[in-house]
């Protein structure tokens, strides 16, 4: 194997190790609180009988997406329950939702700033490119070093992997708002914050919701990979099937992931008015 003269990886490794050594107490606090949050949400989902969760999700699907989406949600969740993966599905759903919410809390403000500040956009764009194109498995390495194995490092890696689409689509949505509408709002005495909240964000709603949809889908794909570091859920079942060459387990758990992804995709799309 040829030895290159650029040691970028070694520099990144040193930075990660320095953070691990000097901020271990901070990471421990984040780990404890993060695990408690994820496990608490899991416990809430698992506290209710399966049919209550199905009714709630189907009602949301019916309200926003219509009868077709509601029927898909009901049948899909009943099918997952019949496969025997209800607990793992709720664990996966909990991590997806926590990761998505956290990613959006970071990504939406960054996207807004990027839309309004060209210099920020130029600085953020290559970082987003790196985050989107870096192999997903790579994110597991610093996540494990920071937080050991478990649910939180899985969520940490998922947040990093899922954030870029929300940043890009938020920025795109704000940019596509008509300048004439913004100027009209300003001429009536609206402050920049009022323009943002009452004009730009509502008009960029479809783009923002598309970002939410993509973030959920990216989170779900990464949560499966996070099963490699004992993050639990359907990802561990898929990994178990691979390790044991168990075709039945691998196919069934993978099918449960697909069904959950379709349900979440249809429900989030329906919020943007795209009924399928």
> In angstroms, what CA-CA distances link 72 with 79, 215, 259, 263?
10, 21, 9, 7
Distance CA 135, CA 141 (A): 11
Distance CA 79, CA 50 (A): 12
Per-residue pLDDT of 120-140, as tens digits, reads 999 999 999 888 888 877 877
Cβ neighbours for 258, distance < 8 A, ≥ 6 positions apart: none
Distance CA 98, CA 216 (A): 10
What ranges in the chain are assigned the alpha helix state H? 8-22, 24-47, 50-65, 67-83, 86-116, 118-133, 140-147, 151-175, 179-187, 192-195, 201-203, 205-225, 234-243, 247-271
pLDDT for residue 14 is more than 90: no
Report yes or no: 184 and 124 within 8 Å, Cβ to Cβ: no
Domains and CATH numbers, the chain: 13-271 (1.10.3720.10)
State percent of the chain over pLDDT 70.
Answer: 96
When pLDDT is cut at 50, 70 and 90, the band that residue 275 belongs to is very low
Distance CA 39, CA 41 (A): 5
Per-residue pLDDT of 76-110, as tens digits, reads 999 999 999 999 999 999 989 998 999 999 999 99
Distance CA 31, CA 24 (A): 10
Tokens of 243: 């390790």
pLDDT for residue 1 is more than 60: no
Per-residue pLDDT of 29-47, as tens digits, reads 888 888 888 889 999 999 9
Cβ neighbours for 55, distance < 8 A, ≥ 6 positions apart: none
Backbone angles phi, psi at 71, to 5 degrees: -65, -40
Grouping H, G, I as helix, E, B as strand and the rest as coil, residue 20 is helix
Per-residue pLDDT of 233-252, as tens digits, reads 888 888 888 888 888 988 99
Grouping H, G, I as helix, E, B as strand and the rest as coil, residue 45 is helix
């Amino acid at each position: 194997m040829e030895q290159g003269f650029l040691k970028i990886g070694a520099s990144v490794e040193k930075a990660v190790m320095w953070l691990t050594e000097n901020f271990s107490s901070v990471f421990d606090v984040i780990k404890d609180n993060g695990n408690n949050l994820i496990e608490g949400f899991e416990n809430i989902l698992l506290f209710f009988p399966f049919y209550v969760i199905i009714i709630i999700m189907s009602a949301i699907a019916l309200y926003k997406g219509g009868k077709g989406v509601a029927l898909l949600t009901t049948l899909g969740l009943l099918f997952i329950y019949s496969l025997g993966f209800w607990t793992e599905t709720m664990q996966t759903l909990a991590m997806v939702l926590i990761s998505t919410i956290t990613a959006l809390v970071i990504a939406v403000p960054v996207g807004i700033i990027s839309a309004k500040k060209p210099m920020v956009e130029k600085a953020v764009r290559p970082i987003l490119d790196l985050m989107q194109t870096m192999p997903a498995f790579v994110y597991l390495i610093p996540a494990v070093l920071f937080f050991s194995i478990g649910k939180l490092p899985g969520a940490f890696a998922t947040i990093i992997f899922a954030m870029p689409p929300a940043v890009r689509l938020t920025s795109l949505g704000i940019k596509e708002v008509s300048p004439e509408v913004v100027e009209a709002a300003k001429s009536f005495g609206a402050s920049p914050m009022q323009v943002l909240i009452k004009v730009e964000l509502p008009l960029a709603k479809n783009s923002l919701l598309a970002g939410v949809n993509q973030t959920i889908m990216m989170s779900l794909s990464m949560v499966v990979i996070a099963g490699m570091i004992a993050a639990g859920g359907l990802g561990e079942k898929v990994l178990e099937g691979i390790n044991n060459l168990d075709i039945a387990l691998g196919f069934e758990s993978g099918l449960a992931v697909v069904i959950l992804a379709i349900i979440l995709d249809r429900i989030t799309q329906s919020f943007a008015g795209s009924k399928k």
